[in-house]
Structure 1
């Protein structure tokens, strides 16, 4: 049996890199949600919640981060299930 060490190292490196990227993007999504909550609590009151903006940019950023994470997971599942 012959092990292709170069291919094994490339696979391990790519796996590690993608894992770090997905975890980092997920952490950015969590950070965006926490900043939105902090901004809304700082303004307190119903009038502040009705203001334009109101943390919508942070919420959109969080949704984008979580969408990227979900896309990476789905892509990985497709690669696993591919014949």
Structure 2
């Protein structure tokens, strides 16, 4: 049995980058929702709250798309 260390390292690197990117994207979504809550609590403009909510939902949608693509790759 021979292990292809270059391929194993490549898979490890791509997995690490994808994981960090997905967690970072989800974190941005949570921060966006928190900023929306603070803008509403301070009585700020509805434009800021709507922009924060839209950005958060976009981050969550991208996370869901990345998870769906990963499931697609596993199944296919």
TM-score by length of 1: 0.86
Question: Which aligned pairs between 1:5-44 and structure 2 lie closer than 5 A?
Answer: 5-43=5-43
The number of residues matched between the two structures is: 76
CA distance in 2, matches of 1:27, 1:64: 12
1:68: which partner in 2?
A: 62
Q: Which has the larger radius of gyration?
A: 1
Unaligned runs of 5+ in 2: none
1:57: which partner in 2?
A: 51
Unaligned runs of 5+ in 1: none
Bigger relative contact order, structure 1 or 2, given CA contacts below 8 A and separation 6+?
1
TM-score by length of 2: 0.94
Once the 2 structures are TM-superposed, how far is the Cα of residue 54 of structure 1 from its aligned partner? 5.4
